[in-house]
Amino acid sequence: MPVTFKTLQDEVKRRGTLNQSGTTFDTAIKNVINWSLFKVAREAPWRSLRRKTSFNTVASYTTGTGTAAGTTSSTLITASSANFLTDGVEIERKIKLGGSGTYYYIKTITGETSLTIDQNWAASTTTAMTMEVLPQEFYNLPIQSSHRLFMWHEGFGYPFRMNYITDQDFYQHGVYLTIKYIPTHYRMWGEDTVIEQVRQPSIITLASSSTSDTSIPVTVFGTVSGYPDYEIITTNASSGATASSGNKIFSSVERVVKGLTTTGRIAVTANGGTDNVAVMPVGDTTSGIRYRKIGLYPLPNKVFPIYCQYYKDPYKLVNDYDVHELGEEFDEVIILLATAKIKAEQNLQNEADRFFVLYKDELLSLKTVNVDKIDWFPVLRRPRSSASDAIVPGSNLLFRQAGANFGPASRY
């Protein structure tokens, strides 16, 4: 039978406070158990937290080409046959208009057939130019994914592990951001709680999937009128499923946090429901729920799945019946670490040290059987890669074992 959050609390209280009566330590014990859970989760790539998922790339968008219109010295572009909102075209994608050699960024999407670009249209006024919204560069990784991950695809016809590159190295190489091909690299550029940014400045609207989630405070952090700002919006006082809107107009959103545990999921939307800004899960206050963002290079020239293997950051334990995601083998190590911290906070250093030694011993035991060894896998390089990139040192894998398509150019 799984050990619940309440069972963990009782055991830490028994060991850490000698089972003192009352509720004096209850909040502290809950906090220290969650702290211990997160610390243990970061200690190693635990097999129980390994996840695998995929997402599809988004190729060029050309619906409406031939009907695009722009006015000199204006940022407004219209395309009478386009469906920007329905088809989910996102802001910050590059757009190529007519015969102009300039690539613009989409700044806002103001309707099904209209958008604004990041700088004034420099060419002559026209009403029938071609239009291409370049492939989507940025994507969300799965919720709660940690920094320990790798991605691959079969766009070349065989499994290809993508290469990670930092932003600084990426821009230092003088890359062309408009190249379309099968992506070979990815970079991680941030994280937030937002699934989709607002496509034009808008008030924020809340609605829960449960009618019982009444008067739940939700704080929205972002940009209002060009300045950092926030607003506390509460769900409807009579029915949580009835939409409730704020008053401030957000041009971007960085973080969304709800103040109380909920029965249902709270959907956070903008622009009349066309923008799904965030979905706040059942239960937890979601202060730790986040999405990591990645950018692909080159821009994907077709739609195909990219696979991601990652290690999930566990959710915070909130309700007494919650069960942590590491698995029952990890119950003891969490209890020992939490007890050591409780003892240390009570200035009982000798006892704290004793429990910490027990924690380290239990952690070492867990690592012998529960840790993935993915970093030991040899990495096969692309055809005609340089000799310096030939192979992971110490892998003992020869190129003739890997096949004819791998190895340095000198081999050919």
The CA-atom distances, in angstroms, between 32 and each of 20, 123, 353 are: 17, 62, 16
Which pLDDT does position 408 carry in this prediction? Answer: 53
Is residue 248 within 8 A of residue 240, CB to CB? The reply is: no
Q: What share of the chain is helix, strand, coil (3-state, %, to 5)?
A: 25, 30, 45
- b/e 155-171 (16+ beta carbons within 10 angstroms → b): beeeebbbbebeeeebe
Give the pTM.
0.78
Instruction: Catalogue the E-assigned strands of 326-392.
Output: none
Which amino acid does the sequence have at 410? S
Q: Report which of 197, 167, 150 is spatially closest to residue 306, judged by C-alpha positions.
A: 150
Is residue 24 within 8 A of residue 30, CB to CB? The reply is: no
The CA-atom distances, in angstroms, between 113 and each of 83, 100, 171, 287 are: 6, 20, 33, 37
Is residue 340 within 8 A of residue 360, CB to CB? The reply is: no
Which pLDDT does position 330 carry in this prediction? Answer: 96
Is residue 49 within 8 A of residue 312, CB to CB? The reply is: yes
The distance from CA 402 to its chain's CA centroid, rounded to whole angstroms, is 34
Which pLDDT does position 1 carry in this prediction? Answer: 62
Distance CA 380, CA 398 (A): 10
One pLDDT digit (tens) per residue for the chain, 412 residues: 678 999 999 999 999 887 676 777 888 899 999 999 999 999 998 999 999 989 999 999 999 999 999 999 999 999 999 999 999 999 999 999 998 889 999 999 999 999 999 999 988 898 899 999 999 999 988 877 877 788 999 999 999 999 998 888 888 888 899 999 999 999 987 778 888 899 999 999 999 999 999 999 999 999 999 999 999 999 999 999 999 999 999 999 999 998 888 889 999 999 998 899 999 888 765 555 778 889 999 999 999 999 998 888 888 888 888 899 999 999 999 999 999 999 998 888 899 999 999 999 999 999 999 988 765 344 444 444 444 444 444 444 555 555 555 555 444 3
Distance CA 269, CA 267 (A): 6
Distance CA 377, CA 392 (A): 9
Tokens encoding 374: 């993915």
DSSP H or E run through 5: helix 5-16
Distance CA 235, CA 214 (A): 6
What ranges do the domains of the chain cover? 5-46+326-370, 51-57+138-190+294-312, 68-133, 204-287
Distance CA 301, CA 404 (A): 27
Distance CA 320, CA 282 (A): 15
The 10 Å Cβ neighbour count of residue 251 is 18
Is residue 282 within 8 A of residue 208, CB to CB? The reply is: no
Which pLDDT does position 391 carry in this prediction? Answer: 43
Distance CA 396, CA 412 (A): 21
Distance CA 212, CA 172 (A): 53
The distance from CA 104 to its chain's CA centroid, rounded to whole angstroms, is 26
